Every structure is written in structure tokens, then in C-alpha cells.
Amino acid sequence: MGGSVYEVTIKQSFSAAHMLNEIGDTCEKLHGHNFVVEISICSIVLSEEGILIDFRILKQWADEILKEFDHKYLNDISYFKDTNPSSENIARYIYDRISEKVKKRNLDVSRVTIWESEDARASYYGNNNDRHSKSKR
């Protein structure tokens, strides 16, 4: 990745329960978290208004996605029927969903980070991190 890049990040949260398969110990039992989600969007250029994206728009998109998870049993969500609902896989799911929206604005998702506690997080960076070096608004 070369050159200068702008990045904005929002932070939101949801509460959910899950069970993680085949990792052993108590995580295989039903348990829950108050997940904190950070979504970061990047570009090498700003809009005519001098912003990367309006935070309100990014928060609205995140709300639409996180509504699917909030106060739910994650293992019941179709995406996680054959995929462990780990923080890593939750991050990838949100990354993919947000990417669909930001690409229409010629932006990229730089990362999605899921905090399942104050001292444990997982991030997904995807494969778009070189694309923004070629992006034009």
C-alpha cells in the first residue's frame, strides 16, 4: 500500500449468545458477550465536502447489519449454520456486508474489529487493502 490514506472508524455494539464448536473448554457451552464492533473505511481521496464518508451513513449501515445479531443466538443465523460464530468470522461477515455498501461510493473497508471483552479482540482486513491506492472518486 503506497501513499497517503484517510481512514474513519465507527464503534457500535450488540449483545448475543453463541457456542463455538470443536475448540474445547467452556466456549463450547452456550455463553454470551456484549460485543463491540469497530468498522474502518478508507480512501486516498476525500469528497468535495472534505470528508471520507458521513459518520451518520456509516453508522446507519452498521445498525442495519448489527440488528441481525442483537439479542440473538448467533448459531441460528444462516451464515453461521456451517461456520463457527467466532469473533473472527463475525468480523468477516460484517466486513463483507459493509463492503457491498462502500464499494458503491468507491471506498474500501480497511478492517472490522470485534471485541468480545475488554481484553480480547479479532480483526478482519479482507483483501481490499491495496485497492484504495488505485481508487478515484
Strands 72-73 and 6-18: parallel
Selecting among 7, 64, 71, 100, the annotated active-site residue is 71
Integer CA distances (angstroms), 89 to 23, 55, 83, 125, in order: 14, 25, 8, 12
Selecting among 18, 33, 38, 116, the annotated active-site residue is 116
Residue 126 has a pLDDT of 84
Tens of pLDDT along the chain (137 residues) come to 467 899 999 999 999 999 998 877 777 888 999 999 999 999 999 999 999 999 999 999 999 999 999 999 999 999 999 999 999 999 999 999 999 999 999 999 999 999 999 999 999 998 755 544 444 44
- Residues 59 and 12: beta-carbon distance below 8 Å: yes
Q: Is residue 132 flagged as an active site residue?
A: no
Measured CA to CA, the distance from residue 84 to residue 89 in angstroms comes to: 7
CATH class as words, domain 6-133: alpha beta
Residue partners of 130: CB distance under 8 A and separation at least 6: 1
Residue 22 has a pLDDT of 80
Q: Dihedral, CA atoms, 24, 89, 17, 121, nearest 10 degrees? A: 80
Global confidence as pTM: 0.88
Residue partners of 34: CB distance under 8 A and separation at least 6: 13, 14, 15
Selecting among 27, 49, 68, 132, the annotated active-site residue is 27
Q: Which of 34, 35, 54 is nearest to 46 (CA)?
A: 54
Other C-beta atoms closer than 10 Å to the C-beta of 86 total: 19
